[in-house]
Copies of this chain bind each other. A is one copy, B any other.
Amino acid sequence: MALRYLSQRLAQQIDEELMSQNGAFSIDQLMELAGLSVSCAIAKVYPVRSYPRVMVCCGPGNNGGDGLVAARHLFHFGYSPSIFYPKRGGKELYQRLVTQCDNLKIPSITDLKQQLKQTDLIVDAIFGFSFSGKVRTPFDDVIQAFEETTIPIASVDIPSSWNVETGPEPNSFVPSLLISLTAPKLGMKDFKGTHYLGGRFIPPALAEKFNLNLPPYPGTEQVVDITGIPVLTEERL
């Protein structure tokens, strides 16, 4: 058993195939299932009784959207989430996801440092597999806070600021939980923390086409623990 870790290009291609007319998924569907799987992984690793106060930090793209969905499900699971969403994405979907959280009275945070004093767990939903280049304001301050805090961090798909293919820089923060979506990305291959996989919606034909070698999910779970499962090396592809 070994898992294929995806290049940025391949991750984008799989995403496009899922949402093309042939794959037929809407972004609403995929984001709902992705965000749900994030919240399920968090509930397994950071139980609500010990980590009730979860600050979900959202970026302007789809990774942030996954975070908004996760915040909503975490609320229904009994957590007290808050949302830090300093640069809101323009898509109508994101606005609706915010409204759904507003309807649950999930607080929107403006002062990150103040909120860190009353947070048991941080969800990093800033950047996903499309990220490249340098972290720009206002997210540079957020990443710096992640580097300085001792609060555990759960990263969605990739730890924000890490290169999707080459991984962390020397001073990058390291999350204690990583929830890869669909399949892990190449830059995660030396990650040693707790690692879950979510996104239980890949058709077997698509998984075969790209040699994803996905692990079986248990029962009706939306996530599977892939901590310690080796990386499929390129020679074996």
Please give the residue numbers on chain A whose beta carbons come within 8 Å of chain B beta carbons, in ascending order. Answer: 21-26, 28-29, 32-33, 36, 39-40, 43, 72-73, 76-77, 93, 95-97, 99-100, 103-105, 200-201, 203-206, 217, 219-220
Contacts and interface: CB of A to CB of B under 8 A. Distances in A.
Copies in the complex: 2
A205 B96 CA distance: 17
A25 B200 CA distance: 22
Given A24-B96, A205-B103, A43 B219 contact: yes
A-B pairs, top 6 by smallest CB distance, nearest first, are A24-B99, A28-B28, A24-B96, A103-B203, A43-B220, A26-B28
Contact of A77 (B28, B73, B219): B219
A26 B91 CA distance: 14
Given A29-B28, A220-B77, A104 B22 contact: no
A201 B76 CA distance: 7
